[in-house]
Chain A
């Protein structure tokens, strides 16, 4: 569904991605794990068009999407939920969700209902400003906002960051649920254990390169991965 061939991306003078090859099949949860600064967020930003890659090619559903701007890429049904949630602080919860469906002409109401079903707390907070939500609620809002666009693939950047353990469980539960309802997921996580637990396959990113790729099960049992990312 989503394919990356030999992607190179620069941050100023620094080469942050050094030839990434990656594939996500329809219906999968694929996770990308790695340490801070490995290039995970850069990779997602490259796919979503916030950053431009200098060489290589990105294909989505057999169509080339390289070089498109972020707002054009969302048209294909590729939606990124950014790191740190990035809620619009001065829009209400409902407005935040509506903005998520900016590209959609109809079906906004139905999607809103679906999101409220998934996250009932958002319905309660409908009229509050984004800034007033707690961290967990903001993460739900960020995911909900992403879902409003009816994505074919949802890219989540560190959804568990800064959340209490109970909430982390819950968020992963919900990600799994979203996947079961038919949305493909590319998940970037530092919490490798949780991520590999719900994912089908995983990639390990180190200093801009993919050093390992395997099924999630194998990665969980891989000695190197255990040592470096699972703390065992």
Chain B
């Protein structure tokens, strides 16, 4: 039972971690809470759905499950990433010099817009999510794991490793870190700061999009208002790990996922109260240790 819940927690945590990266990267660079990130996550789930419908009609993809999944994720993540950049350009960029609350309010406006857009023009009901590959169960003595869980954990960790590599070793990754530490000096190095900011939104939204699809596959349905709760939880994860800190966001995501699974699994009536628990963590961390468990990797300006 313990290991079973741990597995559930890790699966859930993978999804939270992917979303949390989007919050933390944007915060790291703009010191801004991208409130619309939860809707980006939701849009990702829907893009995945659209591309599934599209690709199932293309004969090339019949029987080629690997290519099918690969292109499904690639196209959906790319579309979500473009949406991320679009939001940044339209709703945040004009507010770079505005008081701090302005972009947050603008982000809330974007959230309302996207949610209602999907509600009005796509569906105001839950949409059943397609099962992309056959579900196989593997039984070990301690726990039962299915192919979907393996897939979620494997894909999330791979994406995070790719991100880590990108940030740590590539030229653009280094430039991203430079911009998040000192925007003005970074521009003196010849770095186009605006482009790096867009890149950050691109990556964050792309990962959020992947999380959206995984979330849809895991729970079997999607809805226009599905973003809010995982969004807040992922933000909690980002804060827990120290907002602005990329490793922290991954760490926080898993911690939160595991806590949630244990609350739901081991505490009587815990399933009802697990969300309260997540919000309580959010408030307590902000009040008691706003720099998070791992500390923010930023100097505060």
Query: Hey, which bits of chain A sit against chain B, CB under 8 A?
Result: 48-50, 69-71, 74-75, 79-80, 82, 86, 88-91, 95, 98-100, 102-103, 145, 149
Contact = CB atoms under 8 A, between A and B. Distances in A.
Contact of A86 (B171, B182, B191): B182
Contacts of A50: 184, 187-188
B245 to A, nearest CB: 10
A70 B190 CA distance: 7
6 contacts: A86-B188, A90-B177, A90-B297, A91-B177, A102-B175, A102-B191
Given A75-B190, A80-B188, A91-B177, 12 more contacts: A69-B192, A70-B187, A79-B188, A82-B184, A86-B188, A88-B178, A88-B186, A89-B299, A99-B174, A99-B186, A99-B189, A99-B191
A149 B184 contact: no
Interface in B183-211: 184-193
B182 A103 contact: no
A48 B299 contact: no
A100 B186 CA distance: 9
Nearest to A69: B187
B106 interface: no
A9 to B, nearest CB: 16
Q: B interface, how many residues as a size bin?
A: 10 to 19
Contacts of A69: 187, 192
B181 A88 contact: yes
Contacts of A100: 189
Contacts of B186: 88, 99
Nearest to B180: A90
Contacts of B178: 88, 91, 99
Contacts of B193: 71
A149 B299 CA distance: 26
Given A82-B185, A102-B171, A88 B177 contact: yes
Nearest to A148: B189
A79 B185 CA distance: 11
B169 to A, nearest CB: 10
B190 A74 contact: yes
Contact of A71 (B171, B182, B191, B297): B191
A91 B190 CA distance: 17
Contacts of A82: 184-185, 188
A101 to B, nearest CB: 8
A95 B188 CA distance: 15
A20 to B, nearest CB: 20
B190 A71 contact: yes
Contacts of A102: 171, 175, 189-191
A95 B185 CA distance: 14
Interface in B135-177: 171, 174-175, 177
A88 B192 CA distance: 16
Nearest to A142: B185
B184 A103 contact: no
Given A89-B181, A91-B178, A99-B174, A70 B188 contact: yes
A80 B177 CA distance: 20
A69 B54 CA distance: 43
B167 to A, nearest CB: 11
Nearest to A74: B190
Contacts of A91: 174, 177-178, 181
B129 to A, nearest CB: 40
B168 to A, nearest CB: 10
9 tightest CB-CB pairs across the interface, nearest first? A74-B190, A103-B190, A70-B187, A86-B185, A71-B192, A88-B181, A102-B190, A102-B189, A99-B178
A209 to B, nearest CB: 26
A71 B186 CA distance: 8
A95 B174 contact: yes
Nearest to B184: A50
A103 B299 CA distance: 26
A74 B174 contact: no
